Amino acid sequence: MATPWKDAIRKAASQHPRGIAGVAAQIGMPRSALSMLLSDSYPADPAAQLSRVLRWLGQSFVHCPHLAIQIGDGDCRSHRNRPQPSGNAPALRHWVACQDCALGQALAAQAESRAA
């Protein structure tokens, strides 16, 4: 599954002379760990490694109570701000959960205050 952070890491790797190994070194993690994160095959809980990657990308990392996983705050905001889905019950339940989520509301308020 493609995500914004994966796309950003792949873009950085394509521009780095050492590729994924160079990006992993900049982040401060083994190349193999970054490769496994990108392929969704990291054998342990990826939260700590993913948090390191997101910090390097300048994102913060939040726990989504609906998905029960860690996601980037930008992913949280974009999911919350998307139009209400129709014809897809799981997507609608997720959207409704986002609208009621205190964390999502706080992130939206934070983004609005930065824009003002």
- C-alpha of 94 from chain center: 16
Domain identity same for 65 and 46: no
Same domain, 32 and 72: no
Domain check: are 71 and 51 in the same one? no
pLDDT at 66: 87
Please check whether residues 101 and 74 belong to one and the same domain: yes
Q: Are residues 26 and 42 in the same domain?
A: yes
pTM of the model: 0.52
- Please indicate, yes or no, whether residues 111 and 71 belong to a single structural domain of this protein: yes
37 and 82 part of one domain:
no
How many contiguous H segments (helices) and E segments (strands) does the chain have?
Answer: 7, 2
Distance of CA 6 to the CA centre of its chain: 8
Same domain, 48 and 72: no
Q: Are residues 111 and 65 in the same domain?
A: yes
Domain that holds residue 92: 61-115
Query: Are 51 and 25 contained in the same domain?
Result: yes
Binned at pLDDT 50, 70 and 90, residue 24 comes out as: very high
- Cα 60-65-67 angle, rounded to 5 deg: 90
Burial class from Cβ neighbours inside 10 Å (0-12, 13-18, 19+) for residue 114 reads exposed
Label residue 32 by pLDDT band (50, 70, 90).
very high
Q: How many domains does the chain have?
A: 2
